[in-house]
Amino acid sequence: MTAVTSDRWGVVPDVIAAIGNTPLVRLRRASEATGCEILGKAEFLNPGQSIKDRAALSIVRDA
């Protein structure tokens, strides 16, 4: 899989390029409560709103 870079506004060339570029979101309250930096992956920002987007893309590419 080739890495795709976005422009400075986060715009990717097409929907396929958006799959797998899932942002991390800092969970401030949980981090403060535990004293650790806690990050969550925002999989809902994938085009299909699921982690399964990566698996589906891989299946299609291998077909």
Question: H/E element holding 25?
Answer: strand 24-26
**The tokens of 32 are what?**
């403060």
- Residue 57: exposure state from Cβ atoms within 10 A (0-12, 13-18, ≥19): middle
Q: Specify the pLDDT at position 62.
A: 94
Domain that holds residue 52: 15-62
In a domain, 51, yes or no: yes
Q: Report if residue 6 sits inside a domain.
A: no
Query: Residue 5 domain-assigned?
Result: no
Q: Report if residue 23 sits inside a domain.
A: yes
* Element holding 24 (H helix, E strand): strand 24-26
- Domain membership of residue 20 (yes or no) is yes
Residue 3 lies inside a defined structural domain of this protein: no
Each residue's pLDDT tens digit in the chain (63 positions)?
Answer: 455 556 666 788 888 888 887 888 999 999 999 999 999 988 888 888 888 888 899 999 998
CB crowding 5-39: b at 16 or more within 10 Å, else e:
eeeeeeeeeeeebbbeebeeeeeeeeeeeeeeeee
The pLDDT assigned to 7 comes to 63
Is 41 known to be catalytic? no
**Does 22 fall in a domain?**
yes
Which residue among 26, 28, 41, 52 is the active-site one?
52
Q: What is the pLDDT of residue 21?
A: 78
The predicted pLDDT at position 6 comes to 60
Q: Domain count for the chain, please give it.
A: 1
